[in-house]
Amino acid sequence: MPPNGSNASQCTPMDPMHPNAPQCAAAKRSRESAVPLPEETPVREVAPSGKRVGMRLVSWNVAGLRAWLRKGGLKWVQDAAPDVLCLQETKCGAESVPPEVRDLQALPHQYWASPEGKPGYSGVGLLCRCEPLRVTYGIDDPEHDPSARVLTAEFPSFFVVCAYVPNAGRGLTRLQPRLRFDAAFLSYLSRLDAIKPVALGGDLNVAHTELDLRHPSANRRSPGFTDEERRGMDAILAAGFLDAFRVMYPALPHAYTFWTYLGGARERNVGWRLDYFLISERLRPALCDCKIRPRVMGSDHCPVELYLAL
Partner residues linked to 10 by β-bridges = none
The whole-number pLDDT of residue 32 equals 66
CB count within 10 Å of CB 167 equals: 21
CB count within 10 Å of CB 275 equals: 24
Answer whether 186's CB lies under 8 Å from 206's CB.
no
Q: How far is CA 256 from CA 37, 48, 252, 264, in A?
A: 9, 26, 10, 15
pLDDT tens, 98-127? Answer: 999 999 999 999 999 999 888 788 999 999
Q: Is 80 exceeded by the pLDDT of residue 266?
A: yes
Q: Is 90 exceeded by the pLDDT of residue 13?
A: no
**Which residues are the active-site residues?**
164, 203, 301
Proportion of the chain above pLDDT 90, given as a percent: 87
Query: Of 65, 197, 206, which is closest to residue 124 (Cα–Cα)?
Result: 65
Q: Is 50 exceeded by the pLDDT of residue 52?
A: yes
CA 153, CA 158: separation in Å to the nearest integer?
9
Residues in the chain: 310
Binding residues for Mg(2+): 61, 89, 203, 205, 300-301
Answer whether 50's CB lies under 8 Å from 285's CB.
no
Mean pLDDT of the 132-140 span: 98
Distance separating the N- and C-terminal Cα atoms of the chain: 32
pTM of the model: 0.91
Query: Of 308, 199, 210, which is closest to residue 256 (Cα–Cα)?
Result: 210
pLDDT tens, 278-308? Answer: 999 999 999 999 999 999 999 999 999 999 9
* 147 HSE (CA, 13 A, CB side): 19
* 36 HSE (CA, 13 A, CB side): 4
CA 185, CA 214: separation in Å to the nearest integer?
27
Q: Residue 139's pLDDT band (boundaries 50, 70, 90)?
A: very high
Answer whether 122's CB lies under 8 Å from 115's CB.
yes
pLDDT, the chain, mean: 91
pLDDT tens, 161-195? Answer: 999 999 999 999 999 999 999 999 999 999 999 99
pLDDT tens, 65-96? Answer: 999 999 999 999 999 999 999 999 999 989 99
The whole-number pLDDT of residue 301 equals 98
Mean pLDDT of the 202-227 span: 97
User: What one-letter code names the amino acid at 229?
Assistant: E
